Amino acid sequence: EVQLVESGGGLVQPGGSLRLSCAASGFTLSDHYIDWVRQVPGKGLEWVGRSRNRAYSHTTEYDASVKGRFTISRDESENSLYLQMNSLKTEDTAVYYCIRGPRGVSGTDLYFYYMDVWGKGTTVTVSS
Amino acid sequence: DIQMTQSPSAMSASVGDRVTITCRASQGISNYLVWFQQKPGKVPKRLIYAISSLQSGVPSRFSGSGSGTEFTLTISSLQPEDFATYYCLQHSGYPLTFGGGTKVEIK
């Protein structure tokens, strides 16, 4: 079964750090882009950032609200991906989802896998 | 940034109704448009990609259409299990942006 499982959420004080993990099974993580999306309970979805696949050297993109504070990295040997969150703010409080993305930039590789598999999410609470 | 304006933000409908939800992009996004459904307490689920391609396993009463900057999700005959919040997403440019959501409630 294709799935993603997030872990590492919790309660952290403002200014603190947290590292979220995303473990993949049923497919090879390095073949796919992976996105992080967050959702404040009761609110809408917000894209956080992306790690491209091995073919694109695992380059990353971030939303302006987290750029310079959040970093996405991968461990291919573990088929896992990480979201390092530093200098956390109260407005970072949300459920964080890890999501499978495309395998390429055109055709089936782009569209067929675009955010087709979501993890169950992990909750991050930033509060003093 | 590309803004995605989704309307309505909420609506009440009856089982069997035809429901239409619209997303307008602040600039042309080609066919880089995805629709998701989220039920309370659940993870979002992809319904449609590339404007009109139906996700495997999604009932055919769901359809997507549109072009350029205006896109539509249609539920041809609303079923009890369709009461949920629906989101559009553009992936034409960074940052990726979602619409604000449309909550479909029971009338």
Whether residue A21 contacts residue A82, with contact meaning beta carbons closer than 8 Å, is answered with: yes
Q: Quote the pLDDT of residue A58.
A: 94
Q: How far is CA A114 from CA A69, A102, B20, B33, B49, in A?
A: 26, 5, 23, 10, 7
- Determine which of B33, B91, B92, B103 to mutate to test the interface with A (most A C-beta atoms within 10 Å): B91
Give me the residue from B46, B50, B95 closest to A64, CB to CB: B95
Reported as a single tens digit per residue, the pLDDT across B48-93 is 999 999 999 999 999 999 999 999 999 999 999 999 999 999 999 9
* Interface test with chain B among A115, A120, A122, A123, by most B beta carbons within 10 Å: A115
3-state secondary structure of A21: strand
In Å, how far is A16's CA from the nearest CA of chain B? 25
Partner-chain residue, chosen from A44, A111, A112, that has the shortest CB–CB distance to B87: A44
Is B89 in contact with A115 (Cβ distance < 8 A)?
yes
CA distance B31 to B91: 9
Please give, rounded to a whole number of angstroms, the shortest distance from the CA of B56 to a CA of chain A: 10
The pLDDT assigned to A108 comes to 86
Q: Is B54 on the interface with A (CB under 8 A)?
A: no
pLDDT the model gives residue A73: 97
Q: Retrieve residue B12's tokens.
A: 């009440």
- Element containing residue A109 per DSSP (H, E): helix A107-111
Asked if A45 and B49 come within 8 Å (Cβ–Cβ), the reply is: no
Give chain B positions within 8 Å (CB) of A112: 49
B5 in contact with A at a CB cutoff of 8 Å? no
Nearest to A44 among B31, B55, B98 (CB): B98
Please tell me the predicted confidence (pLDDT) of residue A107: 87
Per-10-residue mean pLDDT, chain A, length 128: 97 98 94 97 97 95 98 90 98 98 90 95 98
pLDDT band at B47 (very low <50, low <70, confident <90, very high): very high
Percent of chain B with pLDDT over 70: 100
